[in-house]
Structure 1
Amino acid sequence: MNIVFLWFISLVSVFQQPSDSLIKSFQRAGENVESAKEFHNKTTSLKENSAQREVYEGAALITLAKYEKQLKKKKELMQEGAGKLEVAIEQQPNNVEYRMVRLILQENLPKIVKYNKNIKSDKDFIVLHFKDQNKVLKEWIKEYAKESKSFTESDRAKLQ
């Protein structure tokens, strides 16, 4: 019985960890429309109705909006993507990975979109909970913080 329980816990923890491949796909999605479409396709293969799928599918829709030419469709993609992202973060407000995705998107979207109200709170939350994260997530945070305007030198020093 204990072996089954330990196996179940280890299996659950594997699925709760950020996927290195998913993170890399998210990072490349902004490079061109093909990468954005590839990222979106990858998100649809995630477990249906999971918070992880909602976060990354939301991020993919927001990224696809960048390449959309029709203003109405661009707005629809943004709203749907932001909605998915917000629902997932409401479900798991203490998930640093999800906050990181939202921070990156909000920091890099044009101000006219007006999807930027969580930048400071997400950054502060990420810095506060950095030490409790796994290696993949820590590396992603540290790399992003080097380029980010939201992270101060003091913040970066805490990410060691």
Structure 2
Amino acid sequence: MTPYLLIGFLLFSIGAKQAATLDDLRAKYRTATTNATVCKQQLSKVKAIRTPDPLQQAYIGAYFAVWAKHADAPLTKLNSFKRGKKDLEEAVRRDKDNPEIRFLRLTIQYHAPRMLRYKDNIRADCAFIIKHYQEISPLQLKDNIKAFLLSTDLLTKEQRKTL
């Protein structure tokens, strides 16, 4: 019986650690867009995730894409963005009905320079997020989504009132 308790405890610990990591990734995502140090720290954390689920993979992609903004060398910027785009698209492919994944892709596409040609899903992702907005949790994520959407030109006046 003792080995089963040990295995159960280890599995619980791993699950709790992943949840804490996800909370951390959510909490610092907004700051990482303007703070290179925070972005670099978060990038180190996401690089350590060995077998990411779709949501973790979306955060990996988002942090790589955001890092492109902070990197100095043009080739580093491009490679980081490409890696981020690849991970984001794979995450969406794996779980297209997850509003958080679609939100992460929306933030990257909205701020991506036009020359990178990564803006194809902005309207669809925004519509999907608005449709599922009331179902989104935790509250911190919902607040991040609301703050982002209100800072853009993507919403109608009616949509702004309902958020």
TM-score range, shorter chain: 0.7 to 0.9
Backbone CA RMSD of aligned residues? 2.6
Please report how far the alpha carbon of residue 158 of structure 1 lies from its aligned counterpart in structure 2 after TM superposition: 2.9
Alignment match, 1:144: 148
1:132 match: 135
Over 3 Å counting, the alpha-carbon distance change for 1:81 and 1:66 in structure 2 is same
- Give the 3-state SS of the residue equivalent to 1:116 in structure 2: coil
Residue among 142, 156, 159 paired with 2:160 = 156
2:80 corresponding residue in structure 1 = 77
The 5-angstrom pairing of residues 8-157 of structure 1 reads: 19-46=22-49, 48-134=51-137, 135-157=139-161
Alpha-carbon separation, structure 1, partners of 2:34 and 2:23: 18
Residue 95 of structure 2 aligns with an amino acid whose one-letter code is Q
Q: Cα offset for 1:39? A: 1.6
**Which whole-Å CA distance do the structure 1 matches of 2:28 and 2:43 have between them?**
9
In structure 1, the gaps of 5 or more residues are: 1-11
SS in 1 for 2:132: helix
Residues 55-110 of structure 1: per-residue CA shift (max 9 Å, x gap)? 11111111111122322222111111100000001110000001111111111122
In terms of Rg, which structure is larger? Answer: 2
Q: Measure, in 2, the Cα distance between the counterparts of 1:138 and 1:44.
A: 25
Comparing 119-128 and 31-40, the one that deviates more:
31-40
Distance 2:150 2:78 in 1: 31
Percent same amino acid at aligned positions?
26
**Residue type of the alignment partner of 1:56:** Y
TM-score (norm 2): 0.79
